[in-house]
Structures are given as C-alpha cells and as structure tokens.
Amino acid sequence: MNGFTASGAWICHTGKSRKVNEDACLFDGAFGGASTSAPMRAEVKKWPWVIALADGIGGHRAGAYASREVLAALEAATDFSPIAIGNVLQETNRRLHEVGREKPEFEGTGTAVVGLVSGPDGLFGFNVGDARLYRQQNGRITQVSDDDSVEQLLIHEGLLEASEGVRSKYMHALTQSVGGSAELHRIEPHFYPLAVRNSARFLLCTDGLTDMLSVKAIESYMIPQLKPVTAVQALFSAAMEAGGRDNITIAIVDVEKK
C-alpha cells in the first residue's frame, strides 16, 4: 500500500480586477463560493484522495460552472488510478461540451485543472491546461506539470526559449482544456508519477499567481515559510501587490507516507 496523508492550506480569491471568481478548489471538500478572505487550513483524513484546483474559462457564468463541475466530478471519484482520473476528465469534457452546445449562456464553458492524487498506484499529479503543480525541494521549487499553452508549444518546437519569468499576455492561449471548444475533442491529460520517500511539499496554483510572480519570486515568498497557511498568505499577498489581475487560487500540500 502506497498511501500518503495530506495537510496544508489554500486560498481561492477573486483578485483585484475580476468581478466573479471562476476558480475553484477541492481540498477536503469542494469549494464553490465567491471568494475566500484568508487562507484556509485543510487536512485530508480519508484515503485514497484527490486535491485539485480549476480555473474556469468561457465568461463569468460559464467559467465558474466549468471549474466547479470538474472538481465535483473528481470529488465523486471512486477509483484513484491515473486511468480512472483520466476517464473522469474525459467524461467531464464531454458533458461540458454538451452543456455549452445546448445552453447559449454556457457557450465555451471549460476549465484548466491541476491535481495531486494518492491512490493504490502511489502518488501522482495531473493537469489539463495551464494550472500548475510545483514541488519544493532543497530551497527551490520545480515545475512538475506541463502547460497546455501557446508558450509551451513554442518551447517544445524550439521556437521559444524556456524562461522562469512571467509569461507575456500573448502566450496565455490554451492548446487544450476540459471543455471550452465549439467542437468536441478528446483531451490528453498529463500524468506525473511522484516518488516520495517520506514526505514532500507541493504547490498547486492557477495562473492568477504565476502570471503575477516569477518562479524566483514565488520561491522567495514560499520557501522561508514553514507553516502552509503562512506560505499561502505570503504568496497571495505578493500576487495582489503585483496587480491581482486574475482570480488567484493557491494550495500548499504537505504529504507524508502513512
């Protein structure tokens, strides 16, 4: 049995510029409110488990609907293998496409999603879109996930050099999301096996953080903070001070082998 416990803190906030929060967070129960005012402590007491964040697209109502739908589907999961989580995402992709086609107010409804799972196959991360998973080790954070974005596509094709800075506004377009397209396309979720000997710390976040702060800036606010709630607050405050132009969702997750 490769089980892990999980504890930490999270925040899901509208930011300074947006009127509606299209982000959502699943950490010991789905979050579906407008905005949290301060970091929330969390602990997952049951195993297996999934922790995930979603960043909705398609306009205010449509984006908020999609982000909450994908997290509700993940929360209802009964199988925690990569294949099973992939099937949940595929089914949600199909359902969001149908809703967008049938209801004009939900046209284009879709979402990016990133998550961390502890199941019978061990610990693994996953994502679709540009919400990110980082791992903290040796005074650094390393990005585990691959962005489904124009920027990452150009990097893969050798047309752009990878950078740890904040991406330009022209690089935000997604190359895939859960839902969010006029035509139904099969998505290809990314999965990342994670080797953890005893314990590890992970950061999950939407682009409301990473489009405000470079990787080095994130490290400078996150690494010195030993308590997850303090680390989340430091990152959130820095993102707001940098402009807070988008919804901001951040989760610090400490995992420990059972």
Q: Residue 95 belongs to what H/E stretch?
A: helix 82-102
| Choice among 42-56, 169-183, 237-251 with the minimum mean pLDDT | 169-183
- What pLDDT does residue 93 have? 97
Asked, for residue 252, whether it belongs to a domain, the answer is: yes
Asked, for residue 162, whether it belongs to a domain, the answer is: no
% of the chain with per-residue pLDDT over 70: 89
Domain of 119, in residue numbers: 4-145+175-257
Are 249 and 10 within 8 A, CB to CB?
yes
Q: Say how far apart CA 252 and CA 153 lie, in whole Å.
A: 28
How confident is the prediction for the chain on average, in pLDDT?
91
Our count of domains for the chain comes to 1
Largest pairwise CA distance in the chain: 50
Q: Which of 204, 45, 210 is nearest to 116 (CA)?
A: 204
Residues near 83 by beta carbon (within 8 Å), at least 6 away in sequence: none
Q: How do residues 139-182 score in pLDDT, each as one tens digit? A: 999 999 999 876 666 656 555 556 555 655 555 688 899 999 88
Q: Which residues of 223-235 are buried (b: 16+ CB within 10 A; e: fewer)?
A: beeeebbbbbbbb
Mean pLDDT over 127-146 rounds to 96
Asked, for residue 163, whether it belongs to a domain, the answer is: no
Q: Which of 123, 210, 116 is nearest to 163 (CA)?
A: 210
DSSP state of 227: S
Asked, for residue 164, whether it belongs to a domain, the answer is: no
